[in-house]
Amino acid sequence: MKIVEEQPQEKKSGIKRGIKITLIVILVIFLLAIGGGLVYLNWIVKTPASTNSQKKYFEVKKDETTVQIADRLESKGFIKSGLVFSWYSRIKDKDLQIGIYEMPLNLKMDQVFDILSNGKTQVVKVTIPEGYRTEQIAQVLAKKKIADYDEFVKKAKQYEGKLFPDTYYLSPEYSIDKIIETMLDDYNERTNGLKVTDEDLIIASIVEKEADRDSQRPIIAGIYKKRLAVGMKLESNPTVIYVSDSDQIASLDNDEVAGFKFWQEPAHEYFSSKSLYNTYTAKGLPPKPICNPGLASIEATLNYTETNDLYFIVIDGQMYTAKTYADHQKNVEKYLN
C-alpha cells in the first residue's frame, strides 16, 4: 500500500492565504471596474455631446425601436453614445414620444431623454407645395392646428408670391407673425442674388400654374414676356381660376373652406368677368401674384427663352406652341378636342 504524505500545515495555510488574496484582488478590480464604469456612464449621461448651441431637428418615428432612435441620435451628434442612451432609457422606463423636436446640440444626454420622453418641445412638420395660394397655406396650417385660417389669411395675403413653398418645422407656440416671417426669410434666402421684380414674381406665379415640367417654364415665361411686349392680353386660364376660387371662398365659413378644392376648372362665365386678375378681359399683368411660385418658376422667368411664339397649350404633360392664332387653333382641335 502506497502511503501519501500529508502536506505541512504551513504550506496549506499559505495556499489558502494566496487564494484569499487573489480573490480579494479580483473583487477589488471588479469593484473598481464597476465604479469606473459608473463614473464613465455618469460622464456620458451628464456631458453634452457638443459645445455647439446650434439647433437641429430630430424626428422620433412611429414603430422605431429605442435602439434605432439612439443610433440616429448619436449619428446626428445629439448624444455621445447610442448604447448608453438605450441603457439609460431602459433604466428610466419611459417611452419616447413620436414627433419632431428642435434641440440644440449642446444638451446633456439626460436632457435629450427628458425632451423626447415628455414631448415638451415638439414641433410640427409642414410642407407647402409650389403654387399654393395664401388660402391654401392657411388650410394646411389650420389642419395642423398651427394657425387660425382667417387670421393667417388676413395677415399673410399681402405677401402673396413670397410665402415660399418649402418644408417647415413650426412650433404650435409660434405666432402667425413668426410663421409669416419664417416664410419670408426663406424666400429672401432662396432668391438672394436674384433680381426679382414685382413683375417677374407675378409672371412666375402664372408660370407655376401653367407648366407641368421644368423644361416648359422658361418657354411659357418667354411667351408671356412676348405678349406683354406686343400689347396682347395674357389670356391665362389660371388667372380665371384664381378669380373663380376667390369668389367662392369669400362666401364660405371656416369649416366649409377647410375642405374647399382650389384650382378646379371655373364656370364659363368667369372668362368674361371684369376682375383685374382675369387676363382674358384685363390687359397686362394681374395686380399681384396668383400663388406662391417655387424657385424653378422664378428662375425660369428671369432666364426666359426668347421666342416668336405667342400661343401654347399644355396637355398630358406635353406642350404645343404656335406663332399664330390659326396654328394655335389647330393645336387645340388636335390635342384638346
Q: pLDDT tens across 68-85, in order?
A: 999 999 999 998 888 888
| pLDDT for the residue numbered 295 | 97
Q: What is the spatial distance between Cα 15 and Cα 35, in angstroms, rounded to a whole number?
A: 30
Exposure b/e, 58-95, CB count within 10 A at least 16 = b:
bebeeeeebeebbbbbbeeebbbbbebbbbbbeeeeee
Is residue 108 within 8 Å of 134, Cβ to Cβ? no
In a domain, 319, yes or no: yes
Is there a single domain that holds both residue 114 and residue 158? Answer: no
User: Whole-model pTM?
Assistant: 0.78
Alpha-carbon dihedral sign for residues 303, 305, 310, 312: negative
Last residue of some domain: 88, 120, 152? Answer: 120
Task: Please give the grid coordinates belonging to residue 178.
Answer: 413668426
| Ordered DSSP codes for 60-95 | E-TT--HHHHHHHHHHTTS-S-HHHHHHHHHHHT-P
| pLDDT for the residue numbered 37 | 47
Other residues' Cβ atoms within 10 Å of the Cβ of residue 3? 5
In a domain, 22, yes or no: no
Burial of 228 (0-12, 13-18, 19+ CB in 10 A): middle
Please state the φ and ψ torsions of residue 58, each to the nearest 5 degrees. -140, 135
Is there a single domain that holds both residue 148 and residue 97? Answer: no
Q: In percent, how much of the chain has pLDDT > 70?
A: 87
- Which residue has better confidence, 99 or 202? 202
Query: If you average pLDDT over residues 246-272, what whole number do you get?
Result: 91
- Which residue has better confidence, 28 or 136? 136
Q: What is the spatial distance between Cα 331 and Cα 337, in angstroms, rounded to a whole number?
A: 9
In a domain, 237, yes or no: yes
Band (pLDDT 50/70/90 cuts) for residue 33 is very low
Is there a single domain that holds both residue 89 and residue 213? Answer: no
Q: How many domains does the chain have?
A: 2
Last residue of some domain: 63, 88, 120? Answer: 120
Is there a single domain that holds both residue 138 and residue 252? Answer: yes
Is there a single domain that holds both residue 87 and residue 205? Answer: no
In a domain, 27, yes or no: no
Please state the φ and ψ torsions of residue 96, each to the nearest 5 degrees. -85, 135
Q: Provide the mean pLDDT of the chain.
A: 88
Last residue of some domain: 120, 155, 176? Answer: 120
Band (pLDDT 50/70/90 cuts) for residue 109 is confident
In a domain, 224, yes or no: yes
Is residue 233 within 8 Å of 282, Cβ to Cβ? yes
321 beta partners: 312
pLDDT at 24 exceeding the cut of 80: no
Query: If you average pLDDT over residues 238-260, what whole number do you get?
Result: 92
Contacts of 283 (CB under 8 A, 6+ apart): 231, 233
What is the extent of the structural domain holding 140?
Answer: 134-335
Is there a single domain that holds both residue 185 and residue 329? Answer: yes
Is there a single domain that holds both residue 152 and residue 270? Answer: yes
Task: Please give the grid coordinates belonging to residue 228.
Answer: 406683354
Is residue 248 within 8 Å of 266, Cβ to Cβ? no
Band (pLDDT 50/70/90 cuts) for residue 44 is confident
Contacts of 70 (CB under 8 A, 6+ apart): 79, 82, 83, 85, 86, 89
Is there a single domain that holds both residue 256 and residue 301? Answer: yes
Is there a single domain that holds both residue 178 and residue 270? Answer: yes
User: Amino acid identity, residue 222?
Assistant: G
pLDDT tens sequence across 291-327? 999 999 999 999 999 989 999 999 888 999 999 999 9
**Which of 97, 305, 111 is closest to 215 using CA atoms?**
305
| Ordered DSSP codes for 255-277 | HHHTTPPPSPPPPGGGGG---TT
- Which residue has better confidence, 20 or 101? 101
